[in-house]
Amino acid sequence: MSSQRERTIKPTDLRGILRYVPMFRDHVFVIAVDGSIVSHENFPNIVTDIAVLRSLSIKVVLVHGIGHQLVELAGEDNIALSDIQGEGPTDVTTMSLAREASALVSQSVLEHLSQAGLRCAITNAVRATKVGVIKGKNHLFTGKVEKVDAPLLKTMLAQDILPLVTPIVCDREGQSLRVNSDHLAMELAVALGASKLIYLTPFPGLQVDGVVKVNLPEDELNALLANKQVKLDPRIRSKAMQAAKALDEDVPRAHILDGRVFGGLLTEIFDKVGLGTMVHANDYDRIRQAKKKDAQALYNLAKNGAKTDALVSRTRQQIETSINDFYVYEIDDSIIGCAALRPYAGTKAMEVCAVYVQPFYHGRGVGRKLVEFTKRRAKELGAKKLIALTTQTQGFFQSACGFQPGTQADLPAERRQELKSSGRNSVVLTFSLSRLQESVR
């Protein structure tokens, strides 16, 4: 425990935290807390960490489990449970105890959130349906998520209300069903377009052969889950499986960490090493260097961007001449976004330009992924600084991509003259590529 404490960020260490604030501001984090963690002595500290996230304009949705409390209630009355985790059949007796356990846990969570000064509310924004019969076995009162009322949850978040979602969920007829909280949190993260899905558990992370996997690419996680020789605790396997599903639905990060460690939540989010396991999507699999055959598609994107004066107008010939500077983002073999890297001769600087995403794909993080890709590519090419000139997307480059205000003095003389001649009066922004060594969790 002492070694873990040495790695944690103190909640008061805002200097280390604030540099990440523009990157996460107004993003949604879905946090799933095991029932055993709610009853642990560290839970009040977790609530304090959540209060810190809210103070930094990070929106939080909280999901709680009940397995620990369910076992305790069953032990008091010597009742045999049909299922503990909400994955197998839930009989009438187990369902009755699950409702009682959920009420107790929800009230405890509400009390802690209230003590921390956080506005919160239990919500019925999720609708469930029965799992039904699987391989001949009737799962009775076990449910799965059928629908998430995302507009309702987003309204609550916009009003600074923290939604608390319980694993007892009603179906269309208002009947209560037991839903596995790992599955519930995954569905919420997908529906809300969350930036992070975080599981707080009584485990140090996803362990393989006694070693915690710290950074795990999505494809490596899928390979682990498919390998029958890899033994995982069933509770961790459940979270890992749901994390994989979330990433497959475009949630970029999922975390599995020990909720018993003081300051662990902030450490996992804001420290470059982290505390538990972070599973990350293969963000750049869909990005490649442009080819000659892409010229027409790039011309169409540039033409659409020029209509609103977001991009400089480019002819097809100009694009063909500089095709090697362009990178494209593909979905189902269709180019839906692009960016270009322009070298500044005789300097250690490059310019990211022609960043454009088809309107239908706005809000899905495509533009940010393109810019992050160009950062890494520019660094590979030996650049020390990346520059962006923009007339309409200053907020995007600063808030989502971490750029800082610059001046025309950051540009070489030829580029300054070119900018003056264009009359666009673009804002100059800069990004120091040395910052890339600090991996963002």
Q: Which helix (H) or strand (E) holds 335?
A: strand 334-343
User: Do 105 and 146 sit in the same domain of this protein?
Assistant: yes
User: Do 316 and 348 sit in the same domain of this protein?
Assistant: yes
Nearest CA among 256, 128, 144, 278 for reference residue 202: 256
User: Do 247 and 302 sit in the same domain of this protein?
Assistant: no
Residue with tokens 């890297």: 341
Helix axes 92-115, 67-76, angle to 10 degrees: 120
User: Do 178 and 274 sit in the same domain of this protein?
Assistant: yes
Nearest CA among 182, 208, 191 for reference residue 154: 191
pLDDT value at residue 440? 54
User: Do 262 and 400 sit in the same domain of this protein?
Assistant: no
User: Do 88 and 208 sit in the same domain of this protein?
Assistant: yes
User: Do 256 and 181 sit in the same domain of this protein?
Assistant: yes
Q: Last residue of some domain: 280, 296, 322?
A: 280
User: Do 265 and 311 sit in the same domain of this protein?
Assistant: no
Q: Specify which residues 287 forms β-bridges with.
A: 329
Q: What is the pLDDT along the chain (441 residues), one digit of tens a residue?
A: 334 444 454 544 555 566 667 778 899 999 999 999 999 999 999 999 999 999 999 999 999 999 999 999 999 989 999 999 999 999 999 999 999 999 999 999 999 999 999 999 999 999 999 999 998 999 999 999 999 999 999 999 999 999 999 999 999 999 999 999 999 999 999 999 999 999 999 999 998 888 898 888 888 899 999 998 888 888 899 999 999 999 988 898 999 999 999 999 998 988 767 889 999 877 666 899 999 999 999 999 989 888 887 788 889 999 999 999 999 998 767 899 999 999 999 999 999 999 999 988 888 788 999 999 999 999 999 999 999 999 999 999 999 999 999 999 999 999 999 999 988 899 999 999 987 755 456
User: Do 276 and 411 sit in the same domain of this protein?
Assistant: no
Taking the C-alpha atoms of residue 102 and residue 108, their distance in angstroms, rounded to an integer, is 10
Separation in Å, CA 368 to CA 220, 270, 303, 399, 406: 24, 19, 21, 10, 20
User: Do 233 and 322 sit in the same domain of this protein?
Assistant: no
Nearest CA among 42, 162, 150 for reference residue 106: 162
CATH of the domain at 380: 3.40.630.30
Going 333 to 323 to 410 to 384, the CA torsion angle's sign is: positive
User: Do 269 and 295 sit in the same domain of this protein?
Assistant: no
User: Do 259 and 359 sit in the same domain of this protein?
Assistant: no
Taking the C-alpha atoms of residue 167 and residue 100, their distance in angstroms, rounded to an integer, is 12
User: How many domains are there within the chain?
Assistant: 2
Residue 41 lies in domain: 2-280
pLDDT value at residue 360? 83
Nearest CA among 196, 175, 200 for reference residue 47: 200
Collapsing DSSP states into helix, strand and coil, what is residue 128? strand
Tokens of 41: 């002595």
Q: Last residue of some domain: 280, 314, 335?
A: 280
